[in-house]
Each structure stands twice: as C-alpha cells, then as structure tokens.
Amino acid sequence: MSALVALVISAVLAQSQGEPAVPAGDAATSTAAAPNIGTTIEETRLEKSLRIRTKLAKGTIVAGLLATWDDDAFAGDFGRIEWIELTPSEFKRLFGQVMDDRDASHQLRYAELLVAVGLDPPAESAWKKAASIDPSIASRVAGSREAAKAMRKARLEKERMEREGAVQDFAEDGAAPRWPVLTDAERGAALATMREDAKRYSAMAGVSVEPIETEYFILISELRPAETKELRKELDRMYAQVLGYLGVDPKVNLFWGKAVIFLFATEDRFKAVEAGAFRNPMVGRPGSGQVMGLCHMMKEKVFVNSWRCPDYALFGSVLIHETVHGIMHRYSTPARLPAWADEGFSDWVAAQFQTATVEQARRAQAMQYIRSGGNLVTVLDMNYRDGSWPGPNALGYAVGYAIVDAMMREDPRKFEAWLRKVKGGTPWEEALQDACGLSKPQLAANVARFFSTRD
C-alpha cells in the first residue's frame, strides 16, 4: 500500500464522526488527496458560487455554496469535500456541473474518478472523449487507468475501515482496549496466518482436507459435503443475525483475518487438536464430561474446535454457541461479559437456530429453579474466576439463558445498550443501571416475575 493511500486512511480514522448533515459554515475538511497520475487540475474558482445540496456515500447531507474545485475535491462554506466521498450518482452530477467537458484533462480526471466511485461504463466514454479532444493525451490513458484502480482500492479500504471503526465508537476512553482496525495489507497478513494455523492444527489430528472459506470463516471439515454446506450457510446467517442484535453493519468482519472452525468426524481428533494446539488439559479428564465444542480466544485469534457427535442437532447448537463466544470476543474490545450473560447469550442465539435442542436442555431446569424460589442473584454472582460457574448441575447455563431470554423479550434495545457498555469497559452492574435503570436485585426480581406465569 502506498504512503499516500495510508495517509488517506489515517486521516479518515483521525476524524470524529460527523452529524447527519453538514450545514453551511461548518468545516468538513479532508487532509489527503486521492491518487493521481498525470492529471492535475489546479484550484478553479467558479465565476458564480454554485448553491448545492448533495449526499455523501456515508449518508451525510452537504449543503451550501460551492466556490472552488480541483482534481481532488470541491470546497465552499461547508468546508472541503473529496469527490470520491460522494455517492456515485451525486459525483457524476456535481462534477459534470463544474467541469469543462471540452477540456481533455477534465475528461481524463472525470474518467479516473468515475472508476473510483464504481461507474466503469461512463469512465470508458470519458477516456475516449479525452483522446478525441486531444490525441496526444492517449499516451496518458494507461497511467490514468492505473490511477483509477488505485483510487477505487483506497476508497473501498477507507469505507471498510470506517465501518469497522464505527464498531469502536462506544468504547469508553481509558477503559477496555479496542481491537485495532487493520489496513488491507494487515488483513491479508492476518488471513494468511490463520490459514496456516488451520492447516498446522488440523495436521495434529492427522486431517488434511481442503479448507472451505466463507466471508468470515475458514472451515476445516471432515463431515459429509451436505452437512458441511448446511453448516456453512447457518454460520454465515448466524453471524449476520448476531451483528444485527449488536446494532453492527452486517458487512463488518469483526475477526482478525477470519475465524477458524474445525468440524471433526470423531472425538479423538477433536481431543488431539485440544491437546496439541490449545494445550487443554481438561478435555478427557475423569469427571469432565463429554465436550463437543470449545472456542479458543488466543489474543486476537479465534478458533472453534468441534466434533460431530451422533446427535446432529445438539452438535449444531454447540457449534453456534461456541462461535458466538468468538464473535463477542472480537466485538469492539476483548472485555468479557459476566458469566451468566456470556453463556446465556450464546445459548440464546443457538436457540434461534436449534430451538428444540436448547429449550430441552435449558428451560425446564431454569423454570423449576425460578418457580421454586431459587435466588437468581446467586446465579448473577457466579463467575469463572473463583470457580463458582456454572454451579450445581450446570445451573448457571439454564438460568443465564432464561435471564437473557427475558431481557431480549422485554426490550432488546436495552440489552444491546448494556452489552455495549460492558464491552466498552463499564462494570456490568453499573452498565445495567445506566442502560436499563436496574440494580442487580431488581433484574433478578424482574426475571422471576417475568417467568412466574410464562414458560
């Protein structure tokens, strides 16, 4: 990536988020120009300022008097705006208003910018027109095309980084450290590392299969093609659904590169990777029970290791549960939810896909505890640190699921606001008061009351 493109991106990330509209008189500056090869249009002042109302690609409305323009941007009492910040149709309209269509240099730059905003067919016409106006300019068209490709790449990278950066907006300063937003080059390196890890770890189980990649996952699967295809679709659908619950643009890839998901055919292979790759001494120990899947958050990396037990629906629900842990780990910061919500939310998402399986495993136990007068505060206080989680007979999972279910049914927006605060670094009880207006005992009382007559 060129230093200039890096400057474009760093400038964008340094800017604070704007208001929905930029009225006349408010500065909307851009500190770096789009790449340019051989086409320079000096600042041109219009004889008469042009009153405009136009829309940027990110949705902001810009209104005011356009006074000057050049090959990179236009400016007026609203500040300075880069051409490639406009929506494609608005760029075409506005640049067409200020350019001299008889000027070959104007046509050349127009073609470059058209490609940059995603309008290739009109760009071809502009390049042809530039050559017809000035035949000597034909030798510069190849350079112009390269400039256009560089601009498009920089624009897409900038837009992606803005989307990913928006996920960090709520994280409080000085609280939980935010995951960094990666450049395209950094993302490529991360993806290469995850692919290599997937290959290396699966070899520990004696498995060598061709990875299957989705937008967000690298699947190492020994399962039948039909099952792999179904799980692939379900995982992508689940990912988009979870981001919807979190209020995040579903186009955002939260993972470092991608998450690796192992779908082994046997428990022995699952255990081999647990022991070899993740140094997990618990799986297979007496009293540990049968484990079908685990999520490993290794700093910025996410791995989900699973095996296909005979109960396919149960396997599917465990796979989703563990993958949700990975998504939440990468959601803005590494800060972890309290145990009841960490596990309860993962089960709640799994229930949206494998309802009968999760319900059978959780709800009856939760209802029996709640309706017999069980103390929900005890479950809310369980945690990973002191070993109190998940309590006798894995009670925490059942009650955590019920608590999240009640909160999502009553007001999912408040639950989302609470999640954001906790992931930003606010202690969960303080975040509960801020987002939901509830103390811990009040939450417990609300949930008990909610389920007193409902199943």
At residue 39 the predicted structure's pLDDT band, cuts being 50, 70 and 90, is low
Respond yes or no on whether the N-terminal peptide bond of residue 390 is cis (omega within 30° of 0).
yes
Residue 159 lies in a domain: no
Please report the DSSP string for 110-146 in residue order: HHHHHHHTT-HHHHHHHHHHHHHH-GGGGGGHHHHHH
Are 215 and 222 within 8 A, CB to CB?
Answer: no
CA distance 242 to 240: 6
**Mean pLDDT, to the nearest integer, of 181-199?**
97
Q: Is residue 11 part of a domain?
A: no
- Looking at the fold, whether 299 and 358 belong to one and the same domain comes out as no
For residues 277 and 196, what is the distance between their CA atoms, to the nearest angstrom?
13
Q: Please name the residue ranges forming H helices in 31-140.
A: 88-98, 104-116, 120-133
319 and 225 in a common domain: yes
CA atoms of 273 and 266, how far apart (whole Å): 11
> What pLDDT is stored for residue 453 in this prediction?
78
Assess whether pLDDT exceeds 60 at residue 352: yes
183 and 147 share a domain? no
User: Residue 313: what pLDDT?
Assistant: 94
Which of 17-31, 185-199, 417-431 comes out lowest in average pLDDT? 17-31
Residues 203 and 348 in one domain: no
On the question of pLDDT at 287 being above 70, the answer is no
State the amino acid at position 56 in one-letter form: L
Q: Which of 152, 181, 208 is the last residue of a domain?
A: 152
Q: Which helix (H) or strand (E) holds 61?
A: strand 61-69
pLDDT at position 358 over 80: yes
Q: Which helix (H) or strand (E) holds 11?
A: helix 3-14
Q: Above 90 in pLDDT, residue 33?
A: no
pLDDT at 251: 87
Q: Which domain holds residue 186?
A: 173-334
Q: How many domains does the chain have?
A: 3
Residue 174 has a pLDDT of 52
CA separation (Å) from 248 to 108, 263, 405, 411, 426?
A: 38, 28, 20, 18, 20
The predicted structure's pLDDT at residue 31: 34
In this predicted structure, the answer to whether residue 25 has a pLDDT above a threshold of 50 is no
To the nearest whole number, what is the mean pLDDT of the chain?
A: 88
3 pLDDT more than 60: no
> Looking at the domain assignment, is residue 161 inside a domain?
no
What tens digit of pLDDT does each residue of 388-401 get?
A: 999 999 999 999 99
Q: What is the pLDDT of residue 250?
A: 87
- Domain assignment present for 2: no
CA 197 to chain centre: 22
Residue 75 lies in a domain: yes
- Residues contacting residue 55 through CB under 8 Å, at least 6 positions apart: 61, 62, 86, 87, 90
Share of the chain above pLDDT 70, in %: 88
Are 193 and 112 found together in one domain? no
More confident residue, 233 or 34: 233
The per-residue pLDDT for range 210-266, each reduced to its tens digit, is: 999 999 999 999 999 999 999 999 999 999 999 999 999 888 999 999 999 999 999
Q: CB under 8 Å to 361, separation ≥6 — which residues?
A: 397, 398
Residue percentage of the chain with pLDDT more than 90: 77
Whether 7 has a pLDDT exceeding 90, the answer reads: no
Please indicate, yes or no, if residue 328 is contained in any of the structural domains: yes
Question: Residue 106 pLDDT > 80, yes or no?
Answer: yes
User: What's the N-to-C CA distance of the chain in angstroms?
Assistant: 56
Contact 239, 327 (CB under 8 A): yes
Residues composing the chain? 455
**What would the mean pLDDT of 113-135 be, rounded to a whole number?**
94
Domain identity same for 194 and 306: yes
Q: Of 18 and 107, which is predicted with more confidence? A: 107
In whole angstroms, give the CA distance from residue 236 to residue 244.
13
Under the banding of pLDDT at 50, 70 and 90, the label for residue 280 is: confident
Q: How confident is the model at residue 67 (pLDDT cuts 50, 70, 90)?
A: very high
Q: Is the dihedral of CA 322, 354, 311, 259 positive or negative?
A: negative
Domain harbouring 192, CATH code: 3.40.30
Q: What is the mean pLDDT of residues 154-168?
A: 89
Q: Mean per-residue pLDDT for 337-365?
A: 94
